Structure 1
């Protein structure tokens, strides 16, 4: 972990020593009430690897997705962002350490119950080509129904809302095989939205999307967070986009957190140089968050 004095806002168990940030205009009593009832996700003393690796890919003393906030994981390719997110979602068992949702270890929670509380959109998803978009979105409701239960009013309401939020109403009857890569991504986003969980984890949800739809997805994430207090963890490649939409950034480098905190504190010229190998200027006073003006790539040592 890079010792720049900022990451120390969290103690070794991830407890924040500062008030939760009210960035992006999310202020007022309503926000405070939603965050009070929201759910946090926390990793402690994690070592995460794969069967094909001799050493852990990610080592992390503490990582926290604060309750009722949007936290973006950023960093270069191979920095461990997706691996950390998989472990936080109980899709990858850590070699050491624990992931807890509101203090309860995720591995101790039955899979269907966990799916009611935590949703994951991974990069690795597939579905039968003949499935329609609407049928795929209904799959997000499975954790909320018994094995023999039919679709109910709550399921239909959740599906309709998810389809509207993801902007795929005009595609509901299209089969997955007839969709472009971007359209498929939006359909999968609708499915995880229909799951209606307290915590939502998304691994590069804007992949394959044009700029219009990228912004639409990020606005949906903010809407869920502000209106329903959903705790969000999202892996993003675009640090400028992350700085605009997230309350917190976790910057990853070489399998470890380099820094954590509000975007205006984390996004610095030093971070862009050390983590992203980019020479850039940062305007920390821009109204929508730190504005990055890249100049050139820095040669690897």
Structure 2
């Protein structure tokens, strides 16, 4: 495992302007931090993820990468307050997420998990309006702000032409974009996505990641995303968190993290890495290595 790196502090992050174009030190984006985490499930005797510190920097896109079973989705669930740590805590702008009530957390942090279902007869527009629930009282009618947020989310996700279409008639890629429209309508400062491109064709994979990148660049939203494709992660993310066997193996900018040694040690792949290409490191896999 690589040598221990110094922690990145909020002051370090201010040295780089965020994606919304604000000047250094003036970002209002939110930061998500996990400290001294031990994560497990009722069916596991020992923690399946342990990490001293994990940082999702304000106003940046951070991708969690690693092989199956490395703990990426477990860590994301803890960051989203969907899994209570056995020890340690998750902080959103310095506040422990488990101390926030459900509506307040939902106004500040959006999660698109792998498991999401809705009646097949629900339209894309109706689904997007579900994302407005944290902003409305139980008996409150829809406001102009709600309509504006939904229209913006549908437009940004590129599904305006599907607005009145029922989910049951959509392709897998179209359905995923509809769910992304819903979480965008939630209008949060932090967005977490768990493997949003899995099972999608290449066109829809790129479309999903372009939507995420546009949202980050135009609105300064802090994004944490679990991805299987390290080449895709290197292209779209500002930071990578590489995981192996429930621990953080390496973290930092893609140009520093994506190396031939990492691909061999973490992913068990013999590959070449070209760091001279535009758009981040380019990974060319050659063969699978023995376990």
**TM-score, with structure 2 as normaliser:** 0.95
The answer to whether the Cα contact below 8 Å between 2:30 and 2:189 also exists between their aligned partners in 1 is yes
Per-residue CA distance 1:11-57 (angstroms, 9 max, x = gap): xxx536855685xxx78993436962111000000011111111111
Counterpart CA distance in 2 for 1:265 and 1:21 is 18
Unaligned runs of 5+ in 1: none
Counterpart CA distance in 2 for 1:39 and 1:118 is 9
Which residue of the partner structure matches residue 82 of structure 1? Answer: 73
Which residue of the partner structure matches residue 97 of structure 1? Answer: 88
Q: Does 1:202 align with 2:196?
A: no
Alignment equivalent of 2:112, drawn from 99, 121, 124: 121
Counterpart CA distance in 2 for 1:285 and 1:212 is 25
The answer to whether the Cα contact below 8 Å between 1:281 and 1:292 also exists between their aligned partners in 2 is yes
Counterpart CA distance in 2 for 1:148 and 1:188 is 24
Which residue of the partner structure matches residue 237 of structure 1? Answer: 228
Which residue of the partner structure matches residue 130 of structure 1? Answer: 121
Pick closer, same or farther for the CA change 1:35–1:252 going to 2, 3 Å.
farther
Q: How does 1:1-301 map to 2 (within 5 A)?
A: 2=1, 4-5=2-3, 7-10=4-7, 15=9, 18=12, 30-32=21-23, 36-300=27-291
Counterpart CA distance in 1 for 2:11 and 2:222 is 19
> What's the CA shift for 1:9?
3.4
Counterpart CA distance in 1 for 2:111 and 2:26 is 21
CA RMSD of aligned residues (A): 1.9
Counterpart CA distance in 2 for 1:34 and 1:187 is 35
Counterpart CA distance in 2 for 1:122 and 1:21 is 32
Counterpart CA distance in 1 for 2:18 and 2:189 is 20
The answer to whether the Cα contact below 8 Å between 2:19 and 2:60 also exists between their aligned partners in 1 is no
Counterpart CA distance in 2 for 1:295 and 1:141 is 46
Per-residue CA distance 1:247-282 (angstroms, 9 max, x = gap): 100000000110000000000000000000000011
Counterpart CA distance in 2 for 1:208 and 1:99 is 30
The answer to whether the Cα contact below 8 Å between 1:34 and 1:228 also exists between their aligned partners in 2 is no
The answer to whether the Cα contact below 8 Å between 1:167 and 1:186 also exists between their aligned partners in 2 is yes
Pick closer, same or farther for the CA change 1:74–1:21 going to 2, 3 Å.
farther
Which deviates more from structure 2 when the two are superposed, residues 176-185 or residues 250-259?
176-185
Pick closer, same or farther for the CA change 1:27–1:56 going to 2, 3 Å.
closer
The answer to whether the Cα contact below 8 Å between 1:133 and 1:171 also exists between their aligned partners in 2 is yes
Q: How many aligned positions are there?
A: 291
The answer to whether the Cα contact below 8 Å between 1:185 and 1:207 also exists between their aligned partners in 2 is no
> What's the CA shift for 1:183?
1.9
Counterpart CA distance in 1 for 2:186 and 2:25 is 19
Pick closer, same or farther for the CA change 1:34–1:82 going to 2, 3 Å.
farther
Counterpart CA distance in 2 for 1:165 and 1:37 is 21
Pick closer, same or farther for the CA change 1:125–1:56 going to 2, 3 Å.
same
